[in-house]
Amino acid sequence: MATPVLFPGGSDASDSDLVQRTLAGDSRGFEALVRRHERLVFRIAGGFLRDRAEVEDVAQEAFMRAFAALARFRPGAEFGPWIAQIATRVCYDRLRTRQRQPQVGWEDLPPGEQEAVQALRGADAGADRVAARDLANRLLESLAPRDRQAIMLVDALGYSGPEAAKIMRCSAVAVRLRLHRARRAMREAAERLMAGQGGERR
């Protein structure tokens, strides 16, 4: 839930009020919107990108795009889903410019991620969470950008299918198809790593 912002005069400002204040020339309005929603934007960017500096660049660009398009923001709408849509689009644009990562083999994994694969094979609940997260990020990087976008929005950030569809500007059916394909691709990539484990152990 968005945290109310208190302006002089004693009244809590809604997102819509802050947008109108910004459009009227009050720079504090947009500063308040950034403070209120920057955690969401950083979570989205951090889900797509691993480099902290790149995450910060994407977050800044997302808010810059939002500011430039603020006149088109629909009065009464929620700012959170709108800035989430912009942030995911910035991430998608960033990922689309890259070539897809080459397939990763067992020998390419650092020791912590190798242990995470072993724990995954043995369903070890005590596995190193940081290594497991890094492994998941590595598997995510093997996905096509739009498939990765769908799985990040639904599985990592908790959006519903229809909410993710709105952010991605596609149908809920398309989101379900992308989720199915992304989950299957990640499962197959994990299985390949597990299969490679046997051949690399000494």
Q: What is the pLDDT of residues 80-114, one digit of tens each?
A: 999 999 998 898 888 776 654 444 444 444 555 54
Find the domain containing 46 and state its range.
10-98
Residue 3 lies in a domain: no
Residue 75 lies in a domain: yes
Taking the C-alpha atoms of residue 102 and residue 150, their distance in angstroms, rounded to an integer, is: 21
What does the pLDDT read at residue 194?
A: 65
Prediction pTM value: 0.61
Backbone angles phi, psi at 117, to 5 degrees: -65, -45
The residue among 108 and 136 whose pLDDT is bigger is 136
Residue 74's region, left for phi above 0, alpha for psi from -120 to 50, else beta, is: beta
- Count: domains in the chain: 2
Residue 192 sits in a domain whose CATH number is: 1.10.10.10
Do 89 and 130 lie in a common domain? no
Rounded to the nearest 10°, the torsion over CA 87, 88, 89, 95 is: 120
Residue 70 lies in a domain: yes
DSSP assignment of 67-129: HHTGGGSPTTS-HHHHHHHHHHHHHHHHHHTSPPPPPPPGGGS-HHHHHHHHHHHHT-TTS-H
pLDDT digits (tens, 9 = 90+) for 111-128: 555 455 555 445 454 455
